[in-house]
Structure 1
Amino acid sequence: MFNDSSVSASATPQSAGVGSSPSGCPCGTGRTYAKCCGPLHAGEPSADALSLMRSRYSAYVYKLSSYLLDTWHPTTRPPTLDLADRPGLRTNWLGLQVISHRIIDPQRAEVSFIARVKVGGGPAQRMTERSRFLMEDGRWFYVDGEVGPK
């Protein structure tokens, strides 16, 4: 999901200004961060591929590169992940819409979604992706995704 691999710039939910806020979780469930993606960012395993995908979206919002790398399957994981804003190009995540969650078998699933993002002063963009996930040793991992209209 959102494959951007270069120099690492990690953060924690607390350093990103989240965790104790009663505001809604960026993943769009309507729950608070503390009752939604917060526990996953703190190390709790995802119940399914859908919750992992939502937590990864929130991790992009909060620039949690360590979490993203930890939940990326080792066979496709980049060595580093740079989520730092470039000068004059602040990334503003605008929302997530889940299109489908398909369980292929007990160890494999796919989630299709649209993420809206605005970078710098440019127009808002819609990124559509079908992400693949794999369960290993009781944990879900993001494997890869097809970006584009589906």
Structure 2
Amino acid sequence: MSAHTCLCGLPVPYPACCGKLHRGEAATTAEQLMRSRFTAFGVGDETYLLRTWHPSSRPPHIGLDKRVRWVRLEVLETTGGTVVHTEGTVRFRAHYVDRGKPGEMEENSKFVRVEGQWMYAGMA
């Protein structure tokens, strides 16, 4: 992660971007939450990932694989998920390196607002 760019891909340093969400600030959009969750995978913040996972589908733990390095995120499409919505989707492609081999995964994630907070609700 460059000092000038957050791992989520926005041209903002981590402390002023996803870092502030990891420290407790609430995401204002579903896309912002998705970006911060990608970054949490990248920095190994399992506590944040669990805290932002909807209780109905939240696992007891995640068990992050330290051999996988998350390197780049592409947001491909969003629906809803703005400050005026209560749900939305974010389709993205996440790039990683697993034991020296590059890979990618694509997902269309669903997000819902619970008591004003965006939460990851699984695949759409």
* Same fold, TM-score > 0.5, yes or no: yes
Aligned mates of 1:84, 1:100 — CA distance in 2: 27
Alpha-carbon shift at residue 62 of structure 1 (Å): 0.3
Alignment of 1:54-133 (within 5 A): 54-85=35-66, 90-103=67-80, 106-122=85-101, 124-133=102-111
Aligned mates of 1:22, 1:128 — CA distance in 2: 27
Moved over 6 A (4+): none
Structure 2 runs not aligned, ≥5 long: none
Residues paired across the two proteins, number: 122
> Per-residue CA shift, 1:18-63, capped at 9, x if unaligned?
9xx8342100011111111011000000001000000000000000
- Letter in structure 1 aligned against 2:95: R
Q: State the identity as a percent.
A: 37
Aligned mates of 2:3, 2:104 — CA distance in 1: 27
- Is 1:33–2:14 an aligned residue pair? yes
- Letter in structure 2 aligned against 1:110: T
Aligned mates of 1:53, 1:125 — CA distance in 2: 19
1:93 aligns to what SS in structure 2? strand
Aligned mates of 2:63, 2:87 — CA distance in 1: 28
- Letter in structure 2 aligned against 1:107: T
Which of the two has greater helix per residue?
Answer: 2
Q: CA RMSD in A?
A: 1.8
User: Aligned residue for 1:4?
Assistant: none
Structure 1 runs not aligned, ≥5 long: 1-17
- Letter in structure 2 aligned against 1:94: V
Between 23-32 and 102-111, report the one with greater CA deviation.
102-111
CA contact (8 A) 2:4 2:13 kept: yes
2:113 aligns to what SS in structure 1? strand
Aligned mates of 2:111, 2:90 — CA distance in 1: 8
TM-score, normalised with respect to structure 2: 0.91
Aligned mates of 1:106, 1:26 — CA distance in 2: 26
> Per-residue CA shift, 1:49-93, capped at 9, x if unaligned?
0000000000000000000000000000001111142xxxx2121
Which of the two has greater strand per residue?
Answer: 2
